[in-house]
Chain A
Amino acid sequence: EDQVTQSPEALRLQEGESSSLNCSYTVSGLRGLFWYRQDPGKGPEFLFTLYSAGEEKEKERLKATLTKKESFLHITAPKPEDSATYLCAVPPPSSGYALNFGKGTSLLVTP
């Protein structure tokens, strides 16, 4: 059973066109939800950790929010350099260190 589901699978935006990516999770007793960015041919790069519903974190044009069932990654006025795959992950109930990743959302921002 998938613990993390991300949508959409792919998203194409015009530069400056704001949007949101979704990460739904089913694990109980959430011990953190993590967002990573992955560029082609590279390893994932850590963006944010969220621990409790209502929490928000921001970094440049990105803002991550968390509810009891899902997280959103809001991208405001994106630029072409924001193009990447965005991954969401949660620890499984049995472990505090291993991460279960979603399949990711592939974002393309065109000029």
Chain B
Amino acid sequence: GAGVSQSPRYKVAKRGQDVALRCDPISGHVSLFWYQQALGQGPEFLTYFQNEAQLDKSGLPSDRFFAERPEGSVSTLKIQRTQQEDSAVYLCASSSGTGETGELFFGEGSRLTVL
């Protein structure tokens, strides 16, 4: 596809369950970002990959959050033992450069609801 693809679009999890969210960036894009967006808020940075290297994970809220991009393309954000406060939209974005231009291409997001 031409754009960033995320799946699932919607996920409902019971508290304590593990979830995995997938991001398929634009082909050839070096940089990949994960953001978390709560209702009525702007996106908040979670983590950044340049190819397969995770260069910054300072925004991950806790050690229950884990992201990987093993082959430098598709990325997965995993949340273990989900809590209600994890309910949010998780946005993936990619960029052809290092992202310093700020021109990120976002997917439509994965909306996670934890009951």
Contacts and interface: CB of A to CB of B under 8 A. Distances in A.
A76 B84 CA distance: 42
Interface string B74-103: 000000000000000001010000111111
Interface residues of A, number: 24
- Give the interface size class of chain B: 20 to 34
Interface of A is mostly: loop
A63 interface: no
B39 to A, nearest CB: 11
A95 B109 CA distance: 23
Interface of A: 4, 31-32, 34, 41-46, 49, 87, 89, 91, 95-104
20 contacts: A32-B100, A34-B102, A43-B93, A44-B106, A49-B101, A49-B102, A87-B43, A89-B102, A96-B98, A96-B99, A97-B48, A97-B56, A97-B100, A98-B56, A98-B59, A99-B43, A99-B104, A102-B42, A103-B41, A104-B42
